[in-house]
Amino acid sequence: MSGRSWDTYGDWDQIASSGDARDIMEKITGHPVERWQSNQMTEEAVSKISNIVIEDRMKYGHKLAAVDFGCGFGRNSELVKRFYPILYGVDIPEMIQQFTELNPVGALKNYNALYTDFEKLASSREFHCLYDSVVFQHIKDNDFVTKSAQTMHETASMGCVISLVCGPLGKTALITNLENLGWRIYHTSVDHASFYGYEHNLFILRRGDSAT
Ligand SMILES: C[S@@+](CC[C@H](N)C(=O)[O-])C[C@H]1O[C@@H](n2cnc3c(N)ncnc32)[C@H](O)[C@@H]1O
């Protein structure tokens, strides 16, 4: 499973390998680097995630953990840490190397550990949520997406996926795969709070047997 076949937005190994922090950041957001800012969430989405966090704290205690899948340069780490104090980042090796070396906005400190392989992360850490900000929609390797969804499903502690999808694409293959495994869409909304106001779709998925 490689996960290294991408749509026409760009080849992430080449983008990261440029070693130019400004270029990489502009490709990550699609906006001038001067506008670099974390995604935001509507009050409704905050309330939905807060309910999930309350439920999961009752099950797992207060130190909940999340995976920032395709973390890039850590743009959303502070946002995710508001809900999940332990944060693991995963990205392709080229991006993790650049993030570690350049750390242009100092977000490295927000991660408890960084990984280049989600499967390895999943087999060695406990986590409760996976955050996907415009990552899986770019991955065109269906086997990789199917395998990743299967691993999420098999990770018993994980009951929540937050997925932000750019444009009118709607459900991605990740979301469809999770639904096929019995997960359900707990919340969806058209999102103008993230990515500088441009229209995205926000999906929050829950494992089928969860209460919220
Ligand atoms: C549009 S950027 C979004 C970055 C970050 N989520 C954000 O919102 O700032 C897509 C990210 O997905 C990463 N990516 C692409 N393929 C990946 C894969 N197979 N596994 C992990 N990360 C991947 C890219 O390297 C890049 O950092």
**Residue 3, domain member (yes or no):** no
In a domain, 5, yes or no: no
Tell me the average pLDDT across 174-190: 96
The pLDDT score that the predictor gives to residue 139 is 97
Task: Please give the Cα distance from 46 to 33 (Å, whole number).
Answer: 26
CA distance 156 to 160: 11
Flag whether pLDDT at 208 surpasses 90. Answer: no
What residue's CA is closest to ligand 1, atom 11?
70
Q: Are 99 and 68 in contact (CB under 8 A)?
A: no
* Mean pLDDT of all residues in 181-209: 93
- Residues above pLDDT 90, as percent of the chain: 90
pLDDT at 9 over 80: yes
Residue 169 has pLDDT above 90, yes or no: no
pLDDT at 1: 59
State the Cα–Cα distance between residues 193 and 6, nearest whole angstrom: 26
Give the pocket of ligand 1 (CB within 6 Å): 3, 12, 16, 28, 70, 72, 75-76, 90-92, 95, 133-135, 138-139
Report if residue 174 sits inside a domain: yes
Residue 77 lies in a domain: yes
Number of domains composing the chain: 1
Contact 152, 130 (CB under 8 A): yes
**CATH number, domain containing residue 157:** 3.40.50.150
Q: Which domain holds residue 66?
A: 12-206
Q: Which residues contact residue 104 at a Cβ distance below 8 angstroms, ignoring those fewer than 6 apart?
A: 21, 25, 73
Do the beta carbons of residue 175 and residue 8 sit within 8 Å? Answer: no
Long-range contacts of 92-97 (CB under 8 A, 24+ apart): 92/3, 92/4, 92/12, 92/13, 92/16, 92/116, 94/12, 94/13, 94/16, 94/17, 95/12, 95/16, 95/24, 95/71, 97/16
What is the per-residue pLDDT across 82-91, written as a single tens digit (0 to 9) for each? Answer: 999 999 999 9
Which tokens go with 115? Answer: 């990984």
Pocket test for ligand 1, best of 6, 12, 76, 194 (most atoms within 8 A of CB): 12
Q: Over range 64-89, report the average pLDDT.
A: 98
Whether residue 6 lies inside any domain: the answer is no
Domain membership of residue 132 (yes or no) is yes
Query: Does residue 211 form part of some domain?
Result: no
Q: What confidence tens digit (pLDDT) does each residue in 104-162 have?
A: 999 999 999 999 999 999 999 999 999 999 999 999 999 999 999 999 999 999 999 99
Q: How confident is the prediction for the chain on average, in pLDDT? A: 95
pTM for this structure? 0.98
pLDDT at 55 over 90: yes
The residue-averaged pLDDT of 167-181 equals 92
The more confidently predicted of residues 95 and 62 is 95
Atom of ligand 1 at shortest distance to CA of 4? 19
The answer to whether residue 173 scores a pLDDT higher than 70 is yes
With respect to residue 1, please indicate whether it lies within any of the assigned structural domains.
Answer: no
Per-residue pLDDT, averaged over 86-109, amounts to 98
